[in-house]
Structure 1
C-alpha cells in the first residue's frame, strides 16, 4: 500500500453505496426452475441448493460458475498492539507470516491448493502501523479511504467468487472495538483471546477496547467513522473489497471474527449491503456468534477454527464449489430418463 494520498476521501466511498445493485431476479428464477428438475427429491441437497441460488443471484448467471475463485488476505499492523499488551505475539509476526504466505508455508496456502484457488496477499505498509486508537483515531480520513480503495483492487475482472481474510497482530482488538462501537454493550462482550491471551493480558485487551471507544466516541458519527477511528488498514481493505465485489457482481465468502466485523461496517451503513456475502465459518472467538446474530448470518461451517488468514473462508469455498458443481452438472429428470415425483 502506498502512502495515503490527500485526494482520497471517505465521502467518495460513501457515495458508492448509492449504486449498489440488487440480486438478479431472472437468474434466481432460472436457478429455481433448474433446481426443481434435477435428479433428486426437492430440498435433498439442503443448504447447497440455497448456496447455488445465492451464487446465481449475485453473479447474475444461471447456472453460476466457480472456476476462478480468489482468496485475498490483507495484512497490516496496529499501533495499539505496539502500545498495549493486547496480543500474545509481537507485531513482527505480521511481516513474518506474510513471508510464510509468500513461500507457501501457511494453512491458507494448502487450502488454496486443495480448492484450486488463487491466493493473493496484500501487504499494507507494515512498517507504518495505524495510530494507537486508545489515544485518538487510528487513521485519518485519507488513510482510511486509501486503504478502502486498495482493498477494491482485489476484485479483478474474471474472478467469480472471492474469499476475504486478514493477517495482523492486534486485529481482534480492532474487531472488538468496531463491534463495541457499533452495537454497544460492555467491551468484554466483544473481546476474546485472539492469539491466546488470558488473565491480565485479556483484561488489558478489554481495557484497551473500552478506552478506544470512549476516546473516539465524539468522532464516530457514522459507521465509516467507526472504521476510521477504531479499525485498521486491513479491516478497511476488507470493506473496500466487499464494496467492489457488490458493484462487480462477485459473491463473497467472509472469514472469521475480524473479517466479519469489518464487513459489519457496511451493513450498519446500509441494511442489505452484505446480501452478496456468506460467512464461511463460525470462529472459536467467542464474540463471533453474537456478531453473526446481529447480522442475521448463519455460517456455512463450525469447525472450532480461529486462525484467520482466510483459512475458514477457504475451507468453505469447497462447499460453495460443490453447490455450483451439483447445480450445473447434475442431469435433469428428462435428461436422465428418470421418472419424476
Structure 2
C-alpha cells in the first residue's frame, strides 16, 4: 500500500489565531462555530490570513456485487445512468457545484458498464464492480492498493492546479450496505444500528438488507484490521476516497466530508492515519441510519442537519459557504483598533 506522510499541523499558531479572532469587532465568542472553523483552517494552513482556492468535488463511482442481493431499492444500472447525469450537469450536486464555484471531477473506479471515451469522465476502472461479499471477498488486496493509489493521484492532480479545499462524493448502488459493514467491523457497533434505508427501502426492505448483511458478517472469518475489512467488504469508490483523503491530508488540504458513506471512508482513513482527522470538516449529519452515531464515534460536529441523504458530495458542497464565511470573518472583519471601537467584552 502507498505510504503517506501525514502529521498534525503545528499548534503553535493557535494562540495567535485566537488573539486575532478575539480582537475582531464583536463580543468574544459571538460568532460561534465560525470562530472554531477559522481556527481550524488557519491551523491547517499555518496562516493568520488563510485562503480557499479552486475548490473541487471529486466523485468516485463504482458498482457493488452485494447489490445483486436486493439490498438497494435502485437497480445497479442506475450507477451508470447517474454518471451520465453528472456529465450532463443535471444531478443534485451539479447545481450546488455551480452555485458555490466547485469544479466537478467524475471518476469511474469500477462501474459495471463499458463507457465510450468521454473526456470529462476519468477512467480508473479497476474491475466492472466488486465481487459479492455475501460469498467471497469483494476485492483483492492488490485491488485495494490500486484503488488507494488511484484515489490519491486524482487529489494530487487537483492540488497541482491550485486546489487547497476538496470535497469527496460517491456514486454506487449498494454502497450503504458496504458502509454498514465497514461501520460495524471498525467500531463494534451492532450491525442493526448501522443499517438504514439507503436510496429508499421500506421497512421490509431494510429488514431484508439487514438479514443479508448479517449473513455476510457471519460468513466473515477475518480480523477487524482495517485493510482486511476494506478488502473483504469492498467498495472501489470508497477505497479510492480513502486514498484521496489521505493524500489531501498529506498535502495539508482542507477536506470537506459528506454523508454516511464518505464518513465511513474517513473512519477507515483515520484508522490507518489518525492525524488525518485534523484536516476534516464534516459538512452535515445525514438522514441515513447510523450516520449520527458514526459522527459521535469520531467525536466530530457536523455543520448542517438538513435531512440530506443524496450522497455525491452534496452535503459537503452545500456546507461550503459556512466554511467560506469563517475565512472571510478572519480576513475581512476589522479589529477594534482599526475601527476605533472600544472593546465591549
TM-score over 0.5 for the alignment? yes
From 42, 46, 53, the equivalent of 1:67 is 53
Q: Give me the TM-score of the superposition, normalised by structure 1.
A: 0.91
Cα displacement (A) at 1:211: 2.4
Give runs of aligned pairs for residues 129-144 of structure 1, distance below 5 A.
129-144=129-144
Measured in 2, the distance between the counterparts of 1:216 and 1:184 equals: 14
From 200, 207, 210, the equivalent of 2:211 is 207
Give runs of aligned pairs for residues 1-341 of structure 1, distance below 5 A.
12-13=1-2, 15-16=3-4, 19-81=5-67, 83-127=68-112, 128-155=128-155, 156-157=159-160, 158-218=162-222, 220-341=223-344
What's the counterpart of residue 119 of structure 2? none
Query: Aligned with 2:59: secondary structure?
Result: strand
Cα displacement (A) at 1:144: 1.0
Q: Which runs of 5+ in 2 are unaligned?
A: 113-127
1:49 to 1:154, Cα distance in 2 relative to 1, 3 A = farther
In the alignment, is the contact (CA less than 8 A) between 2:7 and 2:275 conserved in 1?
Answer: no
What's the counterpart of residue 123 of structure 2? none
Q: Give me the TM-score of the superposition, normalised by structure 2.
A: 0.90
Q: What value does the CA root-mean-square deviation take over the aligned residues?
A: 1.5
Cα displacement (A) at 1:263: 1.1
In the alignment, is the contact (CA less than 8 A) between 1:256 and 1:282 conserved in 2?
Answer: yes
Q: Which runs of 5+ in 1 are unaligned?
A: 1-11
1:237 to 1:41, Cα distance in 2 relative to 1, 3 A = same
Cα displacement (A) at 1:258: 0.6
In the alignment, is the contact (CA less than 8 A) between 2:259 and 2:285 conserved in 1?
Answer: yes
Cα displacement (A) at 1:153: 2.3
Q: Runs of at least 4 residues of structure 1 off by over 6 A? A: none
- 1:3-32 residue CA offsets vs partner (Å, 9 max, x unmatched): xxxxxxxxx33x42xx31212324433322
Measured in 1, the distance between the counterparts of 2:320 and 2:99 equals: 10
- Total equivalences in the alignment: 325
